[in-house]
Amino acid sequence: MDIFEALFTRRSIRKYLPKPVTDEDISLLLKAAMLAPSAHNCRPWHFVVVRDEATRKALAERHPYAKMAAEAPLVIVVCANLDEEKEAGFWVEDCAAATQNLMLAARGKNMGSVWCGLYPKEDREGVVREILQLPSNIRALSMVVVGYSDQPFFEANRFAAEKIHYDRW
């Protein structure tokens, strides 16, 4: 699949087939995530790979929009180590870019994914912090549910020319 097919057909998938994601594919997704740009090239991201069924179910039960995590074979939580930042606050952009790369890589491997937001909702991030026992210097930006889709992929067209401004607003 070329990059434009992955971009144009990526969508939020909430139903998954009971098929595991291989270690090789997990490594590929994480490699893609770590190729994202980051401020000052500090790459503060860390990833918690959750395959354990009980842990996925706990995340699904306590995050209001992640019910699908209970049935999907894989959840990857994208975090930042604040001690690795060179300039405060840029971890959010860095981890968002890594999250998008991860999701596009999943689509490139013919898998689906959905971004379940954590930061800046303290209650959502707190639940993940508790379940995954994150240290105090670690912030969790996103929880990406990944697996083989039980929903069709199709090309979306969200292009809106009226949102484009040249040279000035």
Q: How far is CA 90 from the centre of its chain?
A: 17
Instruction: Give one DSSP letter per residue of 8-45, joined into a string.
Output: HH--B---B-S-PPPHHHHHHHHHHHTTS--GGG---E
State residue 105's pLDDT score.
98
User: Given this model, what pLDDT does residue 109 score?
Assistant: 97
Q: Decide: 145 and 114 in contact? Cβ < 8 Å.
A: yes
Q: Which residue has the tokens 């990857």?
A: 76
The pLDDT, as a whole number, for residue 107 is 98
3-state secondary structure 69-133: HHCCCEEEEEEEEHHHCCCCCCHHHHHHHHHHHHHHHHHHCCCEEEEEECCCCHHHHHHHHHHHC
The pLDDT, as a whole number, for residue 51 is 98
* CA nearest to 113, candidates 36, 3, 24, 26: 26
- CATH hierarchy code of domain 17-112+136-148: 3.40.109.10
| pLDDT score of 103 | 98
- Rounded distance, CA 107 to CA 117, Å? 19
Output the pTM of the full model. Answer: 0.96
Would you state the pLDDT for residue 168?
Answer: 97
At residue 100, the pLDDT reads: 98
pLDDT in tens, the chain (169 residues): 999 999 999 999 999 999 999 999 999 999 999 999 999 999 999 999 999 999 999 999 999 999 999 999 999 999 999 999 999 999 999 999 999 999 999 999 999 999 999 999 999 999 999 999 999 999 999 999 999 999 999 998 999 999 999 999 9
